[in-house]
Amino acid sequence: MTGASREILEDEIKPLVESFLQERGLKLSQEKTHITHIEEGFDFLGENIRAYEGKVLTKPSQKNVKSFLIKIRATIQENAQAKTGSLIAQLNPMIKGWADFHRHGVSKRTFSKVDHAIFEVVWRWALRRHPKKNRHWVKRRYFLSEGGRNWVFYGILEDKAGKPFKIRLRRAADTPIRRHIKIKGKANPYDPQWEAYFEARLAAKMAYTLEGKKHAQYLWKEQDGNCLVCGQKITETTGWNIHHVVWLAKGGSDTPQNQVLLHPNCHKQVHGSGIKVVKPRPEKGV
């Protein structure tokens, strides 16, 4: 895009945005505002958003990747004399957190590049610790061969009982890519007719996360594993939906205290027929 065309674009779009914000009591920040063509792309919250041959793709920005690797290298340098297991225990949460943040975009190739960059740093870290040993000795000392991979960086830690176990360096590329499911354009979380739709989205999202499974497991145990409409067992085969006892559209909270598990068909009946669901009372001492 030429400078002249960019100025024309700003002249056309900027007043519309400013007018939209002004109606809502907001103001456009001149310092943080940057208008560009989608084919040139832009960075936002650590992501680069850009159109490639008409298709918009989101992936980790170069600046974000660089910043993350600087943090990784600094951690490794600060632990030059640390035990291998201790170093890996510090790196794994950093790698997991960064990869989880970017797992919804087109990130697989970037993940692999980041893994390679981290490998180069830990390899140099290992070599520096044993300047009089050859590379084959260092490789046998710090790397395993597992699952078809010959360079698994590992160390030893002890559990609470004092029993040693192996800890392996996490790979960003092992993080599965999970795309965001686009919300229907007409869906309104404050409209009661969309209540079942948003609850189904919440259930689907929770099924993919450990935290979500623990949440569902808590509700399942609270109900003794039974659907509160038909009284039959809720299993992996039957499936389940999360239902808000007091609907969100009517001021209900999005917390376990206001949630129950129902069979998908029972959930439809509740919203279609207006069946009232009562959350079970916990037993004494529970």
How does pLDDT run across 15-31, given as a tens digit for each residue?
888 888 888 888 888 78
Number of domains in the chain: 3
Does pLDDT of 243 surpass 60?
yes
Selected residue with higher pLDDT from 122 and 215: 122
In this prediction, residues 52-75 reach a mean pLDDT of: 95
* 136 and 96 in a common domain: yes
Domain annotation covers residue 279 = no
Domain coverage including residue 242: 192-273
Q: What percent of the chain has pLDDT over 90?
A: 48
Question: 206: helix, coil or strand?
Answer: helix
For residue 40, give the nearest of 48, 32, 28, 29 by alpha carbon. 48
Residues 73 and 137: beta-carbon distance below 8 Å: no
Mean pLDDT of the chain: 87
Domain annotation covers residue 71 = yes
* 262 and 161 in a common domain: no
pTM (whole model) above 0.85: no
In this prediction, residues 92-101 reach a mean pLDDT of: 96
Domain annotation covers residue 180 = no
Does pLDDT of 283 surpass 70?
no
Class of residue 24 by CB neighbours under 10 A (exposed 0-12, middle 13-18, buried 19+): exposed
* 140 and 99 in a common domain: yes
Question: 150: helix, coil or strand?
Answer: strand
Per-residue pLDDT tens digits for 165-222: 999 999 999 998 888 778 888 988 888 888 888 878 877 766 666 466 778 888 888 8
CA distance 249 to 110: 41
* 51 and 82 in a common domain: no
Does pLDDT of 286 surpass 50?
no
CA distance 114 to 97: 14
Dihedral over alpha carbons 260, 264, 266, 267 (to 10 degrees): 60
* 119 and 40 in a common domain: no
* 83 and 49 in a common domain: no
CA distance 7 to 186: 34
Of 36, 57, 78, the one marking the end of a domain is: 57
8-state DSSP, 174? G
- Place 285 in a pLDDT band, splitting at 50, 70 and 90: very low
Selected residue with higher pLDDT from 61 and 207: 61
pLDDT value for 51: 93
Residues 278 and 227: beta-carbon distance below 8 Å: no
Domain annotation covers residue 283 = no
Per-residue pLDDT tens digits for 128-177: 999 999 999 999 999 999 988 889 999 999 988 889 999 999 999 999 88
The two three-digit tokens of residue 175, written as one number: 């993080």
* 87 and 72 in a common domain: yes
Domain annotation covers residue 94 = yes
In this prediction, residues 268-286 reach a mean pLDDT of: 77
CB-based contacts of 198, cutoff 8 Å, min separation 6: 187, 189, 248
* 68 and 53 in a common domain: no
Q: What is the DSSP string of 94-119?
A: HHHHHHHHHTTSS-HHHHHHHHHHHH
In this prediction, residues 65-70 reach a mean pLDDT of: 97
- Place 5 in a pLDDT band, splitting at 50, 70 and 90: low
For residue 244, give the nearest of 223, 265, 264, 262 by alpha carbon. 262
CA distance 70 to 54: 33
CA distance 155 to 116: 19
* 67 and 166 in a common domain: yes
Domain annotation covers residue 178 = no
Residues 47 and 105: beta-carbon distance below 8 Å: yes
The two three-digit tokens of residue 114, written as one number: 């980041």
In this prediction, residues 109-116 reach a mean pLDDT of: 97
